[in-house]
């Protein structure tokens, strides 16, 4: 149990385009979903926290207009990187937690490369 | 604030060697403690966890004990395998927010 999927697993796009990444909890309802960014050989940086049906809470320094997060249902959250640039290239990982979310279950990650 | 400190890697061991990866933390409140493992090109997988002092988490031969007096949660395994090669992250959770250490890369050689 507690499986979280992400789609796509990798994506290459041109600079200036937008990319949407989906995060799904497959066998449980996730009241809270988290989006992280991981740079090579570094730890995970929390970008934002989203609760179903409400606006995401962004961490300091994360541009909310650039990284749009939608948590439309208890099993789906999406991260859209708008007007992507090469510096947005990274490994994006989502996680899902139940209530109370003592444990987060992580998706396999999405590698974004912006040319 | 909350923080997690891990020993820097990479740690290189021969197969069947004993593994210890040190982890210490500072936290406000009463954190839960976790070890996550990340295999190359993949996301994080929960390896084990402990939710209160003196609890021991264990899984796949790995274990870690929540030591409140030393604010530590060291990861140990008696005999590592090549398949254990990965990056290991120590983390704490307070009020559902995870704080990660920087990760320790483990390389196990034949």
Q: Which residue in B14, B38, B22 sits closest to B105, CA to CA?
A: B38
Residues of A in contact with B41 (CB under 8 A): 109, 111
Instruction: Let me know: does B35 contact B89? Beta carbons within 8 Å.
Output: yes
Confidence of residue A114 (pLDDT cuts 50, 70, 90): very high
Residues B5 and B26: their CA atoms lie apart, in Å, by 9
To the nearest whole angstrom, how far is the Cα of B90 from the nearest Cα of chain A? 10
pLDDT at A101 over 60: no
- Which chain B residues touch A60 with a CB distance below 8 Å? none
**pLDDT at residue B28 greater than cutoff 90:** no
Q: What are phi and psi of B4, to 5 degrees?
A: -130, 130
Q: Which residue of B has its CA nearest to A49?
A: B97
Size of interface A-B (CB pairs under 8 A): 50
Q: What is the pLDDT of residues B66-99, one digit of tens each?
A: 999 999 999 999 999 999 999 999 999 887 788 8
Q: How far is A73 from chain B (nearest CA, A)?
A: 20
Which residue is it, tokens 């890697």? B9
A109 touches chain B (CB under 8 A): yes
User: Which of B43, B97, B103 is closest, CB to CB, to A106?
Assistant: B43
Among all chains, which residue has been given the structure tokens 């909350």? B2
In the predicted structure, residue A41 carries a pLDDT above the cut 90: no
A40 Cβ neighbours under 8 A, 6+ residues apart: none
Q: Given an 8 Å threshold on Cβ–Cβ distance, is A43 in contact with B100?
A: yes
- Averaged pLDDT of chain B: 93
For residue A90, give every residue at least 6 positions away whose Cβ sits within 8 Å of its Cβ, in sequence order, or none.
A37, A38, A39, A111, A112
Q: Name the band, by pLDDT with cuts 50, 70 and 90, for residue A100.
A: low
CB contact under 8 A, A102 and B93: yes
- d(C-alpha A83, C-alpha A10), whole Å: 17
- Using CA atoms, how far residue A99 sits from A36, A102, B51, B84, B86, in Å, is 20, 8, 16, 32, 30
Residue listed under structure tokens 């590698």: A111
Write out pLDDT tens, residues A75-95: 999 999 999 999 999 999 999
DSSP string covering A93-109: EEEEE-SS-SSEEE---
Structure tokens at A85: 């640039």
| B42 vs A43, A44, A108: nearest CB | A108
pLDDT value at residue A28: 85
pLDDT band at A102 (very low <50, low <70, confident <90, very high): low
What integer best gives the mean pLDDT of chain A?
A: 90
Residue A108 confidence (pLDDT) above 70 = yes
Residue A115: CB atoms within 10 Å: 10
- Reduced to 3 states, what is the DSSP secondary structure of residue B12? strand
């Amino acid at each position: 149990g507690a499986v979280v999927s992400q789609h796509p697993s990798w994506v290459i796009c041109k600079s200036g385009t937008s990319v949407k990444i989906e995060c799904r909890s497959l066998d449980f309802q996730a009241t809270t979903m988290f989006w992280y960014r991981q740079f090579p050989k570094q730890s995970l940086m929390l970008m934002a926290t989203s609760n179903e049906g409400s606006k995401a809470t962004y961490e300091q320094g994360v541009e909310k207009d650039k990284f749009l997060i939608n948590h439309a249902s208890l099993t789906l959250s999406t991260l859209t990187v708008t007007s992507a640039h090469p510096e947005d290239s990274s490994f994006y990982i989502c996680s899902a937690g139940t209530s109370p979310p003592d444990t987060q279950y992580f998706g396999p990650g999405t590698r974004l490369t912006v040319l | 604030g909350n923080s997690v400190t891990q020993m820097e890697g990479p740690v290189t061991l021969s197969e069947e060697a004993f593994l210890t990866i040190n982890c210490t933390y500072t936290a406000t409140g009463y954190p839960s403690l976790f070890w996550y493992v990340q295999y190359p090109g993949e996301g994080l997988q929960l390896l084990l966890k402990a939710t209160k002092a003196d609890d021991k988490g264990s899984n796949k031969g790995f274990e870690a004990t929540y030591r409140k007096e030393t604010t530590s949660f060291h990861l140990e395994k008696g005999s590592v395998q090549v398949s254990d090669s990965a990056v290991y992250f120590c983390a704490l959770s307070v009020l559902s927010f995870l704080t990660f250490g920087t990760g320790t890369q483990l390389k196990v050689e034949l």
